[in-house]
Amino acid sequence: MTTAIDIYEEQYIELDERESNGIRVTLVWNRASDTLSVLVWDEQTAQSFTLEVSEDESAYDVFNHPFAYAAFRELDTEAQSVREYATTI
């Protein structure tokens, strides 16, 4: 029987991850849609946000500077809760 974890592991591939001062940044590839996303999780505030990487952007630039990209996109980085983070990926 296939579980939700198996499906997740088949669809999403973690390409890179880093953590500093309780903030975890993860670069993932969605195999099904062939897209890249950067997931940001702040352990101290239990808030998160996700950035889709567009074709004209450098994935590692978004990965290394997610807060700058979020500000440029006028993304509310305090809007997502723990539950929303879990359903984003």
User: Is residue 49 within 8 Å of residue 75, measured between CB atoms?
Assistant: yes
Q: What's the pLDDT tens digit per position in 5-27?
A: 455 567 889 999 999 999 999 99
The domains of the chain are located at: 4-88
Chain segment 37-75, per-residue pLDDT in tens: 999 999 988 888 999 999 999 999 999 999 999 999 888
Distances (CA, A) of 82 to 2, 46, 89: 25, 6, 12
What pTM did the predictor assign? 0.77
Counts of helices then strands in the chain (DSSP H, E): 4, 4
